[in-house]
């Protein structure tokens, strides 16, 4: 990972007002292809940040950098005041051990486009797997919590079903319950409705609305502009690996300042 010239001297945590996520000049390249070109963002505790933009703009890559599924090429990214994936000493970065990175990730839930459920496990088995294996939660307690979450996402009768027996919308709601089972402080959603039939989108967005009302901090990569306008506290428009425009959903959607933002929104908002 590339080093920067001016950095703090030690591994002290970053305290930036009420921010839960702090991205500072985040860059990511795959070979010669620079996908992220210096992202600076802050996500406050309890905030719902929606990230929109054309395909290939770097939205999903940024999301994967937040929980260190992708290693940064340059820059810094903090979650809960901790530098993600690295320890910094006297201006130099040292990558954390896999076990340390896993511990950091355990506080971040992520829901993907494709549901990524374990096909050989029941719905209940999918939800209790991480709490029992990673957090060593007693199975009885994990099961109790799983049933509470299934009720919350509207699937209390599906505990013993297998993923192949569920609709896409049901599988995505199980995926959300599975992420919540780790009791994360941050939830990341990578276009959670893009793989769903149109009639199934609403049931997933309803669960996400409920999470937002409950104060969950969320970063949502989405094409659902109605959801962004209704639920989002902030809206970020990305293009070509950079943040082009950011503000409240009303500001960005109703009165975009940049021509590139206007051109994109003219195609996605009817």
- Could you give the count of Cα atoms lying within 13 Å of 215 in the half-sphere of its Cβ? 3
Is the separation of the CB atoms in 40 and 24 below 8 Å? yes
Report residue 37 as tokens.
Answer: 């070109």
d(CA 74, CA 8): 15
Is the separation of the CB atoms in 26 and 197 below 8 Å? no
pLDDT at 8: 43
pLDDT at 17: 58
pLDDT at 3: 41
**CA-based end-to-end distance of the chain:** 43
Q: What is the pLDDT along the chain (270 residues), one digit of tens a residue?
A: 544 433 444 444 554 558 999 999 999 999 999 999 999 999 999 999 999 999 999 999 999 999 999 999 999 999 999 999 999 888 888 899 999 999 999 999 999 988 889 999 999 999 999 999 988 999 999 999 999 999 999 999 999 999 999 999 999 999 999 999 999 999 999 999 988 888 889 999 999 999 999 999 999 999 999 999 999 999 999 999 999 999 999 999 999 999 999 999 998 876
pLDDT at 7: 41
**CA distances to 67, 91, 104 from 101, in Å:** 9, 20, 5
């Amino acid at each position: 990972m590339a080093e920067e010239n001016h950095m703090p001297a030690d591994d002290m945590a970053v305290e930036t007002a009420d921010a839960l996520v702090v991205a500072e000049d985040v860059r990511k390249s795959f070979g010669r292809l620079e996908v992220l070109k210096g992202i600076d963002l802050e996500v406050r505790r309890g905030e719902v940040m929606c990230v929109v933009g054309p395909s290939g703009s770097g939205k999903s890559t940024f999301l994967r950098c937040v929980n260190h599924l992708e290693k940064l090429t340059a820059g810094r990214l903090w979650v809960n005041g901790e530098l993600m994936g690295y320890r910094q000493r006297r201006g130099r970065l040292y990558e954390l051990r896999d076990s340390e990175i896993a511990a950091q990730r355990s506080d971040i839930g992520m829901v993907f486009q494709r549901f990524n459920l374990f096909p050989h496990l029941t719905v209940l088995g999918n939800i209790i797997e991480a709490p029992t294996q990673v957090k060593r939660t007693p199975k009885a307690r994990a099961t109790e919590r799983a049933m509470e979450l299934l009720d919350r996402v509207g699937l209390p009768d599906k505990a013993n079903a297998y993923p192949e027996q569920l609709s896409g919308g049901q599988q995505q709601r199980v995926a959300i319950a599975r992420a919540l089972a780790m009791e994360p402080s941050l939830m990341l959603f990578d276009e959670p409705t893009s793989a769903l039939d149109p009639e199934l989108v609403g049931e997933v967005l309803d669960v996400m609305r409920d999470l937002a009302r409950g104060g969950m901090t969320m970063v949502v990569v989405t094409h659902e502009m109605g959801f962004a306008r209704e639920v989002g506290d902030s809206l970020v428009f990305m293009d070509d690996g950079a943040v082009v425009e950011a503000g409240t959903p009303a500001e960005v959607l109703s009165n975009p300042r940049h021509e590139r933002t206007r051109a994109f929104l003219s195609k996605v908002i009817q």
